[in-house]
Amino acid sequence: MPVSPETGLIVARGPPWSRRKWIQKAPPAWYRNADALSVPQKKACIALGEAAHAAYGTMGKTPYKGISMPAVAVKVAITVPKGEGAHGGKSKEKRRSDAHTAARASLDALKASI
């Protein structure tokens, strides 16, 4: 998906059912601003970059999870840590409880404003 340097919009192919062949999408919040990424997101980017850099020059195909894939992709998929908290992020339970606490606080603030 190429990015237009003037506007920062991502140009992508439209879905097959649409008449529009090309669509423009807004870029992610961290586009041209690495400071907008959280520390776990930065760690994940670094891990992916390091794994891809280490896999440079690998050629051929390798079966991975029942599918014949490029050996580079398999090497990167095996090397990069995955799963909940692999890069120091919050667990699902912690994220859920934080959202519940924030919702309670906003409801209390709304009640107080009446």
| pLDDT beyond 60 at 1 | no
Nearest residue to 51 (alpha-carbon basis) of 9, 20, 91, 81: 81
- What residue has token string 């529009």? 20
Q: Where is pLDDT greater, at 84 or 66? A: 66
CB atoms within 10 A of CB 44: 19
| pLDDT beyond 70 at 66 | yes
Average pLDDT value over all residues in the chain: 86
pLDDT for the residue 26: 85
Spatial distance between the Cα atoms of 80 and 44, rounded to a whole number of angstroms: 8
Q: Where is pLDDT greater, at 33 or 112? A: 112
pLDDT for the residue 2: 59
| pLDDT beyond 80 at 86 | no
pTM for this model (two decimals)? 0.59
Q: Give the pLDDT mean for 65-82.
A: 90
pLDDT for the residue 37: 87
Spatial distance between the Cα atoms of 87 and 50, rounded to a whole number of angstroms: 14
Nearest residue to 69 (alpha-carbon basis) of 49, 55, 54, 53: 55
Spatial distance between the Cα atoms of 47 and 106, rounded to a whole number of angstroms: 37
Residue 76, classified by CB atoms within 10 Å of its CB into exposed (0-12), middle (13-18) or buried (19+), is: buried
pLDDT tens digit string along 32-64?
A: 888 888 888 888 889 999 999 999 999 999 998
